[in-house]
């Protein structure tokens, strides 16, 4: 039972990564590799700040700001420097590796004996319930803020930029600005995820960002495959549920005797299978029910 609770807690925390990438990958149609650098950047910023006596909550906010700066740099490289999106993200991600070493001063830092968001007010909860509680609270707040943002005129302009940049420009939307804002919000969320995961694990490591984009994509794809056709708001919830399902799948695979060293391999295989499922369904003519949004007048 404890393993299931742990998987749910990890799924809720890692869902922030999936939601962050969803903004750029699905809504903006922007392939952002920055996340593989932003995740450890958030962890390094938060852990270094905490070990230097800064309050864990403030340290977490600093991690969010650091992630937003990384997103801003990628956005400027893409919009002003006219560098292709994939390469812009890779350049920023590569540069962040050196930045992380500068921030931490070494390859890893432990939080042993240091205060964190998990050993404060949540310290009296049963084992693993601290991550479930904090993860649930954070993911609910972030999801509600995303729904409210996307429902505004600014949010609709943001969505239009991803759907059809040319048409968006013709309507007077500053698409470059939308891309930059989207990358900043996305990477801010990824930085938040890195800060929370580092505090939950009790350390920050320079290499903890390797494979994170696969984890984020797995959350998105599993959510879409598992729940079929959804509205935009429902998709945001599906990403969180996809993250939890993904963690439970990993737990099941590890229980079969696989090593933790195989996690990146397992993640890639799971993602590949999930991406092929729609093709199999199409060949077998399997149709899923379409979930419709219930409107007040209906």
Could you report the per-residue pLDDT of 71-120, keeping only the tens digit for each? 999 999 999 999 999 999 999 999 999 999 999 999 899 999 899 998 87
Instruction: Quick: pLDDT tens for 146-193.
Output: 999 999 999 999 999 998 988 999 989 999 999 999 999 999 999 999
Q: How do residues 41-60 score in pLDDT, each as one tens digit?
A: 999 999 999 999 999 999 99
pLDDT for the residue 1: 66
DSSP 1-20: -HHHHHHHHHHHHHHHHHHH
Bridge partner residues of 109 (DSSP) = 204
Asked if residue 9 lies in contact with residue 132, where contact means CB atoms within 8 angstroms, the answer is yes
215-238: per-residue pLDDT in tens? 898 899 988 888 878 888 899 999
How high is the pLDDT of residue 287? 54
Instruction: Specify whether the CB–CB gap between 142 and 22 falls below 8 A.
Output: no
- Evaluate whether 89 touches 33 at the Cβ level (below 8 Å): yes
Residue labelled with tokens 């495959």: 225
Residues in the chain: 298
**Residue 250 banded pLDDT, cuts 50, 70, 90:** confident
Residue 298 scores a pLDDT above 50: no
3-class SS letters over 135-179? HHHHHHHHHHHHHHHHHCHHHHHHHHHHHCHHHHHHCCCCHHHHH
Q: Is the pLDDT of residue 295 over 50?
A: no
Task: Judge whether residue 252 has pLDDT over 90.
Answer: no
pLDDT at residue 262 greater than cutoff 80: no
Predicted TM-score (pTM) of the model is 0.89
Statement: residue 200 has pLDDT above 70: yes
Average pLDDT over residues 136-146: 95
In angstroms, the CA 118 to CA 199 distance is 7
Q: Which residue has the higher pLDDT, 297 or 214?
A: 214
Is the per-residue pLDDT at 27 higher than 70?
yes
Does pLDDT of 123 surpass 70? Answer: yes
How far apart are alpha carbons 62 and 80 in whole angstroms? 26
> How far, CA to CA in Å, does 230 sit from each of 37, 238, 270, 293?
31, 9, 22, 8
Query: How much is the pLDDT for 291?
Result: 46
Question: Nearest-CA neighbor of 186 among 31, 45, 80, 51?
Answer: 31
Give the pair of three-digit tokens for residue 81.
């420097």
Give the integer Cα–Cα distance in Å for 122 and 196: 14
Beta bridge pairs of residue 110: 203
For residue 207, give the 3-state DSSP assignment.
coil
Cα–Cα distances in angstroms (integers) from residue 203 to residues 126, 188, 259, in the given order: 21, 20, 21
First and final C-alpha spacing in the chain:
41
């Amino acid at each position: 039972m404890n393993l299931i609770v742990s998987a749910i807690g990890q799924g809720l925390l890692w869902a922030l990564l999936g939601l962050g990438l969803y903004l750029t990958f699905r809504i903006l149609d922007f392939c952002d590799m920055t996340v593989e650098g932003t995740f450890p950047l958030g962890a390094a910023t938060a852990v270094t700040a905490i070990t230097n006596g800064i309050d864990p909550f403030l340290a977490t906010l600093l991690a969010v700001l650091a992630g937003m700066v990384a997103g801003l740099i990628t956005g400027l490289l893409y919009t002003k420097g006219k560098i292709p999106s994939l390469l812009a993200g890779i350049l920023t991600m590569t540069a962040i590796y050196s930045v992380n070493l500068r921030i931490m001063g070494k390859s890893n830092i432990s939080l042993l004996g240091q205060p964190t968001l998990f050993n404060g007010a949540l310290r009296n909860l049963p084992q693993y319930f601290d991550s479930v509680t904090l993860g649930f609270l954070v993911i609910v707040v972030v999801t509600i803020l995303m729904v409210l943002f996307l429902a505004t005129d600014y949010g609709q302009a943001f969505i239009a930029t991803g759907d059809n940049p040319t048409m968006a420009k013709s309507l007077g939307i500053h698409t470059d600005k939308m891309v930059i804002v989207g990358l900043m919000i996305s990477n801010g969320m990824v930085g938040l995820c890195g800060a929370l995961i580092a505090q939950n694990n009790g350390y920050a490591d320079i290499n903890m960002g390797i494979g994170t984009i696969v984890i984020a994509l797995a959350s998105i794809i599993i959510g879409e495959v598992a729940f079929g056709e959804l509205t935009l708001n429902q998709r945001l919830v599906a990403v969180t549920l996809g993250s939890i399902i993904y963690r439970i799948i990993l737990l099941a695979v590890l229980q079969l005797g696989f090593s933790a060293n195989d996690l990146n391999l397992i993640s890639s295989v799971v993602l590949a299978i999930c991406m092929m499922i729609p093709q199999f369904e199409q060949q077998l003519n399997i149709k899923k029910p379409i979930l419709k949004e219930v409107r007040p007048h209906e």
